[in-house]
Amino acid sequence: MQHHPPQLGHLRRDIDIKHLVELLCDRMYWYMQRDKQDKNLKKMQTELERCRAPESSNHSEVLKLQIDQWKREKTKSCERLGGTDGKLITHLAAFINRQNEELLKTTHGNALRSEDVDARLNALQKVLDEKFSACLEEAFTQIVNDNQLQLRKETEGLKIGLEQERQKSARLQMHIEELEQRLGSWDKRLPNFAEEAMEDESARLRSDGKLTELERKLNQLSKKMDDLASNMMTSQALSRELGRFDTIVSAFKNSKGIEDGDRRTEDDDPGMKTRQRLETVTDEMHIMKLSLQCESVDGAPQSIAGLHKRLDSCMEIVHTNSKEQMSTSEAVKAIEDALKQKLSAQTDDGGQHAQAKLASRHKTEIEEIFDQKFQPLSASLGDKLKGMMQEKLTKLAHDLGSFVDKERIARESAAAKADQSLTEVSALRRGMDGLRNSISTSVDKLDQKIGEQRKLGTSWNERLLSLDSGLQRISKEAETNFQKLELQLQTVSAWQRNFTTKDLYQDIIKDITNNLPPGPLQKISSLTTRLETIEAHLNNSNGDGVSKRRKAAHK
């Protein structure tokens, strides 16, 4: 069983390349993180500068805290990126040194038979370039695909969330407009409520003034009616008139002749002064009626107008009574004439004693007639006036009380309605303020989420750009390192050419072939077979073109 040392070297090289790719991916990840944090930091600073201090103090404080957090994360990413760069450079340098050592050992061991060292080095360089480029492209493609898939998913989710938030915002806007319309209607109705309250208050004041005026007029009318009743129907005036009538009767009794009766004037007739007194009362009532008509009867209430009508009826009753008094006075005058005739007829026959009896009898008859005629008249007139005034005053007081009660109830109901309206308006205003605050809070949160998603999308784009630029930079660095490796290999090849020549090599081969015994030739053949096996193993990983060139060179 033959031993194949090149297989261990190939396995070690694959492990080193895999580790290099992992380090490169780590560096790309931390570079993208740093680039994302840098862009987020710039965006936060721009938004902080755009915020106005008086209106968004809380928002600016939140932005400052986020900026500090992003700065700490950026510092951490820079430290991780620096550590990864150091590891990558160290491992790449070690890998290049091991490859150089292996190439130098292989070239030195086979120096006498390596006519195609340059071709092998070029083939190795191409194989390494192709494998490294393929690994880089594969890693870059995988990272780009993963990022694009994640970005698509996040973008779709953000679009769905944005559409939902737009619908919510539209519904909230409609609700706000409805509340504003309701509040506007209440604001429009508030001046009407205030005007109605003011009108009720002014109506109450006017009604109070009218009630005061009506009470004052009623008091005046009551006083006038009391004065009229006292002037018309007082016992003193009646007794005075009766005394005058008695004086007239006594004067008639003391007269001694017909000539004295002929000399009496019309003013000395019995009952004349009573009739004159009644006429005076009638005139006073007429004057009182005229004074009442001069007042604003049209502006008074219906009860006062009824009172005026009652006063007119009282005046008519007074006129009727005066007429009855006139008729009574005429009857008394007729009685006096009859008495005169009887007295004149009995002057010759009777004595003085009979005359005195007759005079006393006539006086008694006259007093009885006066009592029968005047006392019922005065009593009935006083009772009617008192009853009428009492009834009218009672009715007027009842109407005024009912009017005041109705006005008070209406005022209380209007005040209750106004208070209820003010309470509802204040409740609506509080609800409106709460709704506005909640809407503003939700809008701010939505704007913050949208800003974060935009920042995330921008950071992913920047990551991709940084990854592309990093891969280009790494490819340039690898190209530089390969150029250095090629320069070293060329130096080794030049050193080999200085110590070997083609002719000497051919001569040595021919001499060995001609002079050596079969044993060493078999060893050389076995070594050639092992070399071909190693090259075939390398061809499996590096391509068929290089093995064909090597086989052609050996032949």
pLDDT of residue 301: 46
User: Is 311 in contact with 292 (CB distance < 8 Å)?
Assistant: yes
Measure Cα distances from 14 to 21, 148, 346, 478, 491 in Å.
Answer: 11, 30, 188, 17, 26
Encoded amino acid at 452, one letter = E
44 and 107 share a domain? yes
Tell me whether residue 527 is in a domain: yes
- Among the candidates 470, 485, 501, a domain finishes at 501
- Among the candidates 379, 400, 421, a domain finishes at 421
Closest CA to 440 of 167, 169, 211: 169
162 and 212 share a domain? no
Tell me whether residue 192 is in a domain: no
Tell me whether residue 14 is in a domain: yes
Tell me whether residue 195 is in a domain: no
User: Is 493 in contact with 58 (CB distance < 8 Å)?
Assistant: no
Measure Cα distances from 372 to 243, 368, 478 in Å.
Answer: 17, 6, 158
User: Is 78 in contact with 494 (CB distance < 8 Å)?
Assistant: no
210 and 136 share a domain? no
Distance CA 34, CA 38 (A): 6
227 and 130 share a domain? no
Number of structural domains (the chain) is 3
Q: Which residue has the tokens 């006017």?
A: 206
Tell me whether residue 194 is in a domain: no
pLDDT of residue 472: 80
Q: What is the DSSP letter of 267?
A: G
φ/ψ bin of 543: left (φ > 0), alpha (ψ from -120 to 50), beta (otherwise): left
482 and 410 share a domain? no
Give the residue numbers spanning the domain of 516: 502-555
Burial 353-382 (b: 16+ CB within 10 A, else e): eeeeebbeebbeebeeebeebbeebbeebe
Kindly give the confidence (pLDDT) of every residue in the chain, 555 residues in length, as a single tens digit, with 9 standing for 90 and above.
344 444 555 677 777 777 777 888 888 888 888 888 888 888 888 888 877 555 556 777 777 888 888 888 888 888 888 888 888 788 877 877 777 676 666 544 444 444 455 676 667 667 777 777 777 778 777 777 777 787 778 778 777 877 887 787 778 778 778 877 877 777 777 777 677 777 777 777 776 676 677 667 667 766 665 665 555 445 455 556 556 655 654 454 454 444 444 444 444 444 455 556 556 656 766 665 565 555 444 444 454 555 556 666 666 766 676 676 666 667 666 666 665 665 565 555 555 555 555 556 655 665 665 566 556 656 666 676 667 766 766 776 677 677 767 777 877 877 787 777 778 777 777 877 777 777 778 778 777 877 787 787 787 778 778 777 877 887 778 778 777 777 877 777 676 666 555 666 677 667 766 766 666 667 667 777 777 777 777 777 655 544 444 444 444
- Is residue 114 helix, strand or coil? coil
Question: Which residues, other chains included, contact 158 with Cβ-Cβ below 8 Å and sequence gap of 6+?
Answer: 450, 453
Encoded amino acid at 491, one letter = T
93 and 133 share a domain? yes
123 and 216 share a domain? no
pLDDT of residue 172: 75
- Among the candidates 501, 523, 546, a domain finishes at 501
pLDDT of residue 12: 72
146 and 162 share a domain? yes
Q: How many CA atoms lie within 13 A of 334 on its CB side?
A: 7
Q: How far apart are the first and last CA of the chain?
A: 26
Neighbour-count burial of 34, counting CB atoms closer than 10 A to its CB (0-12 exposed, 13-18 middle, 19+ buried): buried
Closest CA to 198 of 209, 186, 206: 206
Distance CA 185, CA 175 (A): 15
* Residue 298, φ and ψ in degrees, nearest 5: -65, -30
453 and 406 share a domain? no
Closest CA to 32 of 453, 466, 475, 454: 466
Neighbour-count burial of 24, counting CB atoms closer than 10 A to its CB (0-12 exposed, 13-18 middle, 19+ buried): buried
334 and 358 share a domain? yes
Tell me whether residue 484 is in a domain: yes
pLDDT of residue 202: 75
User: Is 23 in contact with 84 (CB distance < 8 Å)?
Assistant: yes
47 and 112 share a domain? yes
Tell me whether residue 427 is in a domain: no
Tell me whether residue 226 is in a domain: yes
287 and 364 share a domain? yes
Distance CA 373, CA 368 (A): 9
